[in-house]
Chains A and B, each alone.
Chain A
């Protein structure tokens, strides 16, 4: 859900988690908690929110889960907005020609 993706990203902690993961490397909860003032539990809670909107997936590796970033939900929104935006550019150009003649 689009609204939920926005909500998911509208949080400083979650944004920083996405920033850590968007380079492509998998991160374990331990790694993602390192350097943060938050507890493991809090970080896990944030990761579950991101998982819930599909921007992050957990990958089972040995005993610990690792998390990876999935850009597709964000790309989908951006692509669609770009597409609608381009349609409006064309329509408004036609309006301009229409009224300025």
Chain B
């Protein structure tokens, strides 16, 4: 059991290319599937709307932390109770946040990207249970949708 998630992925592309894909708000939006209002700026909130199939109603909000060129890009973002459609838009300022960090390293074949998301220990247990249990059927279906979507558009 852990309070963090870490992923390591080898990318066959130069560090500068990966850095651009992460920190250019339009490029980030393309692969992450979010339409962002403007560029990422350290210390500023980035806002947008998810374009992910099934989640187009979900608002994106993240507070940009660090942008150390070609080394580290980080932001904090909220974990709301639920991603279900709501009549009133959620107030993310009241939600607990986790920290997302992208670290880049040059390798012989391109770039090693290390993604870390930490701070899960700050998320209230009852909230996570509720969000997951209520949406369990929905998420399972969405994960299936993701799989077929990615397979169609590699």
Contacts and interface: CB of A to CB of B under 8 A. Distances in A.
Nearest to B153: A97
A83 B13 CA distance: 28
A101 to B, nearest CB: 9
Contact of B31 (A5, A6, A85, A98): A98
B121 to A, nearest CB: 4
A67 B47 CA distance: 48
Contacts of B41: none
Query: What size tier do the contact residues of chain B reach?
Result: 35 or more
B124 to A, nearest CB: 6
A73 B125 contact: yes
B11 A96 contact: yes
A5 B2 contact: no
B9 A76 contact: no
B117 A5 contact: no
A100 B117 contact: no
Given A2-B122, A81-B2, A88-B115, A99 B132 contact: no
A99 B18 contact: yes
Contact of A94 (B17, B115, B150): B150
A94 B120 contact: no
Contacts of A84: 5, 117, 120
B123 A2 contact: yes
A91 B128 contact: no
A78 interface: yes
Interface in A51-101: 54, 72-74, 76-81, 83-86, 88-100
Nearest to A100: B12
Contact of A76 (B7, B12, B129): B129
26 contacts: A2-B3, A2-B120, A2-B121, A3-B122, A5-B125, A6-B1, A6-B3, A6-B121, A54-B125, A73-B129, A74-B1, A76-B129, A76-B132, A78-B1, A80-B120, A80-B128, A83-B132, A86-B143, A90-B150, A91-B31, A95-B31, A96-B11, A98-B30, A99-B13, A99-B17, A100-B13
